[in-house]
Structures are given as C-alpha cells and as structure tokens.
Amino acid sequence: MSRTALSVAEDAFRLLVCQPAPLVFDGRPVAGLPDRLLPLDELRTLLVAGAGSEVSDPVWRTLAVRARDDGPAWVVGAVGVALPGLTRMAARLRVAAPGMADDIDSELMAGFLAAVRTADLVPPRVWLRLCWAAWRAGDQARKTDSLLELPADVAVGSRSPRRPYGHPDIVLGRAVRAGVLTADQADLIGATRLGDVLIEQIAAAGGESGSVVRMRRRRAELKLVAALHRGDLALPAVRVGGRRG
C-alpha cells in the first residue's frame, strides 16, 4: 500500500514518542487522567479507549495551544494523538473514491491542522469540532472528480507504448526537454510521487494551500499522461546490427 500523509505522520509520531525521551503530556491538571506525565502514545491509547468531553476537551485545548506555541514537535504530537480518528474518517471517505487516498489523507490532515491552529478553544466539544473541520476538508478532496478526468485525446484502452520509457526520473527529464512539462512541474511530480516530500511541505514553503499545489500537480500529470499515450516521449529507435530496432 502506498504511503500517504497519514502513514508518514504515524512514522514521525512513533519517533517522537520512542524511549528514552518521549514527548510527554502532563496529566496531573486533567481530572480523569493518571496523575503523572504521560507519553503521547499512552495519552492516545487512553483517549481511544473512551474519554468523555470532560477529559478530551482539556486535553485538546492543551494540545492545540502547545502546537500553536511550542514548535513542530507538538504539531506532530497533536496529529499523532488524532491519527486513530483521522484514519477512521479517511477510510470512510475512501469508500466512494478508492483511487484518491493520497488526496483525501492529505486534505484531511491539512484541515485538521488548520483547525488546530485557528479554532476557538473556549466552546466545548473541541475534539468533535476539530474532527468536523478535517472531515469537511477530506470530503472536498473526494469530490474533485473533474480533476481526475483524462484529456479527451487520451486513449483509455490497453496498449503497449511504442518504445520502453525508462525510469520515471528519465521520463520527467524528457518531458521537460520536449516542452511537455516545465522544470518546476517535473520537480513537483518527482519530489511528491517518487520522493518523500509531502504536498504540505511544498505548500508551506510557497505560502500556498495544499489543495492549490495538488491541483497544479494533477494538471501536470494529466499533460504527462497525454504525452505518453501519444508517444511523444518514446525512446528513439536504436540500430542493432546495422538495422533499426
């Protein structure tokens, strides 16, 4: 199964809570939590086991404040604690759009993080309001069906390309040289599809939303698919034993 924003976040969270120095939450001020410092993975287990709003509200108020004020580790920590709920929501959203897992997961997490950074933490049911923001973002990604449509001139039947195309990085390079893609478009596809860079990282660096960057990538990918089906990026014929192969 391909890695999505949620699986990458889980990996980062596991590193954050590993011994001997896991990131911890002070459970002592929160009635209903153990009266001690709790590693965030233990806190997550306690919340998943069934915590009422009298516990979850102060926990999520604290997590949101720490994420806003105390740096990237607490942003990862807040997402990690939320991951069981986010993963369940993603699974439900993917049922109607199984081919959009990457987009759904990314937008779900982006919506959750936006709410963590901006939501009013005073009213009750903080966790549910954060979840609702995440669900809306993921649901919007699921509805972007028009972005998945191939151009009209792309054949949808099964056929072999005229020549082998080679490694994906080489294909992207040929697409740039042929004028099918710009260098920036090729870099975006390569970094996010072939590398370990998340859409959210590129969006943050450019001061854009994840959905804008994702739409730009999808348009570039559709141009690349169209060129491949037309044979525009096929390797040139090779002479073998004096004959054209």
Give pLDDT, residue 127.
Answer: 93
Give pLDDT, residue 230.
Answer: 76
Domains of the chain by residue range: 5-143, 157-240
> pLDDT tens across 195-220, in order?
667 777 777 777 777 778 888 888 88
Q: Mapping DSSP to helix (H, G, I), strand (E, B) and coil, where does residue 144 land?
A: coil
Q: pTM here? A: 0.63
Phi, psi of 234 (to 5 degrees): -65, 150
Helix (H) / strand (E) containing 64:
helix 53-69
> pLDDT tens across 155-168, in order?
434 344 444 444 56
What is the C-alpha separation between 24 and 124, in angstroms, rounded?
A: 24
With both helix axes pointing from N to C terminus, report the angle between 126-142 and 101-118 in degrees, rounded to the nearest 10.
150
The CATH class for the domain spanning 157-240 reads: mainly alpha
- Average pLDDT across each block of 10 residues of the chain; the chain has 245 residues. List them in order: 80 92 95 96 94 92 95 92 94 86 87 91 93 89 56 41 52 84 86 74 75 83 81 58 47
Give pLDDT, residue 158.
Answer: 39
